Structure 1
Amino acid sequence: MVSYRVGPYGANGQSFFGGFVDYLSYVNLKEHGINGVKIVWEECETEYNNAKGIECYERLKDKAKISAGPIHPMSTGISYALIDKTAADQIPMAMVGYGRTDAVDGSVFPYAFPLVTTYQMQASAIVKFIKEKEKGSLEGKKIVFLYHDSAYGKEPIVALQEEAKLNKFELTVIPVAHPGNEQGAQWLKIRQEKPDYVIFWGWGVMNQTAIKAAQKVGFPRDKMIGSWWAGSEEDTVPAGDAAKGYMSATWNVAGKDVPLIADIEKVVYGAGQGNLGDKSKIGTILYNRGVSAAVLSVEAVRKAQEKYGEGKAMTGEQVRWGLENLDITDARLKEIGATNLLPEIKTSCDNHEGSGKVKIQQWDGEKWVVVSDWIEGNKTLIHPLFKASAQQYAKEKGITPRDCTKEM
């Protein structure tokens, strides 16, 4: 686990990785591991720093080669830095809701899995949601894209540009420098632009700063829709009253009503093996999301064992196959108590994403409330962008893409 629990994004990492580790402990305690194979893990602190992410990977990769998990960097920048290395080392990398989006094309990126929904499909789904609110037309509307000036923040721009052409709205892109606690100039520009909506791609302290700044300049929070990394209690609670009405995309709900979350608290914390120092984070958006990412890891290993042998530890190559052949239905999610933690996921050689759907949630002043059904981004518009980018990457790197018709 190349993780981060300190630094400017440490509060977010504590919740996410806490949920992730708690689920691994839960599987060990409840099921004695994956079909009897106990899960082990080792953690290395990156502080969300790309160079430290590479150092951590190099330190841990030899152990990972013996039985690979997959790796979850939880950082788009670190994912970019590791994408060639993991392929060369044949260690699968899961980028659950982040990372290099064109890795959806498994013919070019066999070891990289931007699972659940990518940034481009998320942005497209947000546009679809706004369009529904505007009675089916965005023509002549103005949308500002306010983003973290990093690989993470830049990922959706191409998709939003295509959506703007298709839906005839005016798009203005405004970057915010890391870590994002200075946004005065950006919000002054937004006040001058008078957009109909702000689509917001923030992370860490940038999120509460933006929500407070929106209130200061009088921009309505219910016209501001964040990415799933800008929609947690870590963002809204510190913003106080300013956050009421604010919306964000998500793929998982908050709360302990999810049976799996309640059972993790009972089983893991009951055994004194909980990973969190602050138990109040159990059931928060990022905690539950960490659990959802760990569920994907465990289900990938379980899938690999179906093919290569139950009760055996799996190699990186075998887990790669498991990730590429996931078929997690609603029935399976219900079976493990994880309903509303994930949409249905079905991956293949030419689709390492597996879903492409989000829900929209809104902060009511105390909690997150889901305000939409599943919304799928415009696959017809967005997926060709992935394909073109992946093919260009293959050309630059001298990669011969796999024939996915032979991988069925």
Structure 2
Amino acid sequence: MSSSLKRKLAVALLALGVHHALPGSALAAPNEQFFPLATYRVGAYASSGIPVWAGMIDYLRYINEVEGGINGVKLVWQECETEWTAEKGIECYERFKNGLDGAPVAVYQPNGAPAAYALADKAAADKIPLITLGYGRTEATDGSVFPYNFPVMLTFYSEASAVIEYIARREGGLDKLKGKKIATVYHDSAYGRETQGPLALLAEKYGFENIQIPVADPGNEQSAQWRQVRQAKPDWVFLRTWGVSTPVAIKTAARFGFPVERIIGDIWASSDEDVLPTGPAGKGYLALTPYPGGADFEIHKKIKEHILDKGKSDLKDPKSFGSVYYNSGLVNAAIAVEAIRAGQARFGKRPLDGDESRWGLEHLDIDDARLKAIGFHGLMQPLRLSCSDHEGGGAAKVQQWDGSSWKLITDWVQADRQTLRPLIEAKSGVYAKEKGIAPRDCRADG
């Protein structure tokens, strides 16, 4: 079907009230960059995903309408429903990987751990970089083995380390961790188990007792786990849950008498949707976040003026503006945009393919000055990537739920990435051996 015919069809569909089958934003023309959106608006995790896509789409629309695109290159996008499954995630990737009507794919965001793991080899073969902010393969930090996989900003290893750094602050220093008990109540999945290695290493280094308590998916009943917590009497609980298991954990902890202000949720247990169902039990709950809640950042003022107030937002519920998940969508979109911008500095102000945007990602340097220029200062940490370092940040803020909204109680808490690096290289080395990969020499990378 030609682009002109698709445009005519889109107009007809919109007139009939059909908005998702062939959105006008997904109609590519020359000098356009395609942003595939692997979404999950239905299924068990839809309430988490819907505000994420709103943040991403609002930012892409802002880039087009206010900035005229990325150096004049307009952005087009199209959604594909994954239901947060590996199978549908692969289907969406196969549908999108060749671009749209001549507009190439620069980066791909799987938006889910199952798809991220399933697509690692496919994306590398197709030379399309995966961006997995706060999820996916931690060992992909090592870009010498994973040239097309970018777990940017905060891996699960760094998340574990940041929690320990924060607890040490509260206890009076890292030396005060000796003899403390830190329990991790975790989603019994690859995601939930990902922090076991770094926590074991940090426990050995600092002398705290490392207690691991699994919760079977979906986590609707947790009496046994919190009975175990009560018996162990930990000083702190690191909560690594997802979806319904988070509010169930908080309410069950309250029922068993464990103080909520001693529970620290990970980044997938840190949203408004995680605490609103808890009622009074959630007041005082702590959580890590690489994209804090709030609508007072400069980018929100710009998007409110140019997108929300003009009725162009993808948000269905205005109360979600500035929510943690909405903000995560903003940050995800901004990283992709800045990666393309960095690639354009070398390859020209035109649409980029995956290999060119990989170069852009590996030369991405978003410092404080750049964060201020794009309106993300305070919402996003400085980020510098390289061939050998595909994470680049490794910090999170701690926020606390006051019963109605999140309040930031720290600045960026930095992980001990130097201590974690040998674990990452050991894991990437095993992967390289299994797959027969000869690691790149990042010293020679230009």
Counterparts of 1:108-147 in structure 2 under 5 Å?
108-136=145-173, 137-147=176-186
Matching of residues 175-190 of structure 1 within 5 Å: 175-190=214-229
Distance apart, 1:66 and its partner CA: 5.3
Residue by residue, what CA displacement relative to the aligned partner does 1:31-50 show, whole Å, maximum 9, x if unpaired? 12111111111111111111
User: What residue identity is the alignment partner of 2:95?
Assistant: R
Q: Where do 5+ consecutive residues of structure 2 fail to align?
A: 1-36
1:196-275 maps to which residues of 2 (within 5 A)?
A: 196-275=235-314
Segment drifting more, 68-77 vs 213-222: 68-77
**Partner amino acid, structure 1, of 2:89:** G
Output the TM-score relative to the length of structure 1.
Answer: 0.97
- For 2:297, give the aligned amino acid: V
The structure with the larger Rg is: 2
Question: Structure 2: how far apart are the matches of 1:68 and 1:104?
Answer: 22
What's the counterpart of residue 409 of structure 2?
Answer: 371
Residue 100 of structure 1 aligns with which residue?
Answer: 137
TM-score of the superposed pair, with normalisation by structure 2: 0.89
| Deviation for aligned residue 1:253 | 2.4
Identity %: 47
Residues in 2 aligned to 1:392 and 1:339: alpha-carbon distance in whole angstroms: 38
Confirm or deny: 8 A CA contact 2:105 2:128 kept in the other structure. yes
Counterpart-to-counterpart distance in 1, 2:440 and 2:401: 44
Q: Do the aligned partners of 1:111 and 1:320 also contact (CA within 8 Å) in 2?
A: yes
Alignment partners' CA distance in 2, 1:61 and 1:364: 43
> Matched residue of 1:26: which SS?
helix
Which stretch of structure 1 is more off in the superposition, 397-406 or 181-190? 181-190
In 1, Cα distance between the equivalents of 2:189 and 2:105?
29
| Matched-pair contact (CA < 8 Å) for 1:101–1:114 | yes
1:333 aligns with 2:371: yes
Equivalent residue, structure 1, for 2:14 = none
Deviations 1:67-91 (A, max 9, x none): 2231112212211111111001111
Deviation for aligned residue 1:261: 1.4
Q: State the Cα deviation string for residues 5-49 of structure 1 (Å, max 9, x = none).
A: 221111110111110111011101111211111111111111111
Q: Does 1:44 align with 2:80?
A: yes
SS at match of 1:62: coil
Please provide the CA RMSD for this pair: 1.3
Cα separation, 2, equivalents of 1:351 and 1:379: 11
SS in 1 for 2:97: helix
* Partner Cα distance (2:246, 2:58) in 1: 26
- SS of 2:398 mapped into structure 1: strand
Corresponding residue for residue 54 of structure 2: 18
Alignment check: 8 A CA contact 2:98 2:105 kept: no
Q: Which residue of 1 aligns with 2:64?
A: 28
Please tell me whether the aligned partners of residues 176 and 186 of structure 1 are also in contact (alpha carbons under 8 angstroms).
yes
Q: What secondary structure is seen at the aligned counterpart in 1 of 2:183?
A: strand
What is aligned with 1:55?
91
Quick check: 1:141–1:170 contact (8 Å CA) kept in 2?
yes
Whether the aligned pair in 1 keeps the contact of 2:171 and 2:177 (CA below 8 Å) is yes
Whole-angstrom distance in 2 between the partners of 1:90 and 1:380: 29
SS across alignment from 2:99: helix
Find the aligned partners of 2:93 and 2:334 in 1 and give their Cα distance: 22
| Distance in 2 of aligned mates of 1:9 and 1:304 | 33
The reply to whether residue 155 of structure 1 matches residue 194 of structure 2 is yes
Matched residue SS, 1:67? coil
- Whether 2:104 is the aligned partner of 1:72: answer no
AA partner of residue 46 (structure 1): T
Alpha-carbon distance between aligned partners in 1 of 2:214 and 2:103, rounded to the nearest angstrom: 42
**Please, which of 119, 136, 141 is the counterpart of residue 82 of structure 1?**
119
Deviates further, 377-386 or 396-405: 377-386
2:162–2:414 contact (8 Å) kept in structure 1: yes
Quote the Cα distance in structure 1 between the aligned partners of 2:196 and 2:53: 28
Distance in structure 2 (CA, Å) of the matches to 1:345 and 1:380: 16
Q: Which runs of 4+ in 1 moved over 4 A?
A: none
CA contact (8 A) 1:250 1:358 kept: yes
Larger RCO, structure (CA 8 Å, separation 6 or more):
1
Query: Gaps (5+ residues) in structure 1?
Result: none
Which residue of structure 2 lines up, in the alignment, with residue 345 of structure 1? Answer: 383
- Distance in 1 (CA, whole Å) between partners of 2:218 and 2:106 is 30
Question: 2:312 is paired with a residue of what secondary structure?
Answer: coil
| Structure 2 CA distance for aligned equivalents of residues 178 and 66 of structure 1 | 40
Q: Deviations over 1:282-334 (max 9, x none)?
A: 11111011101100000001111110001x11111101111111000111111
Secondary structure, aligned partner of 1:40? strand
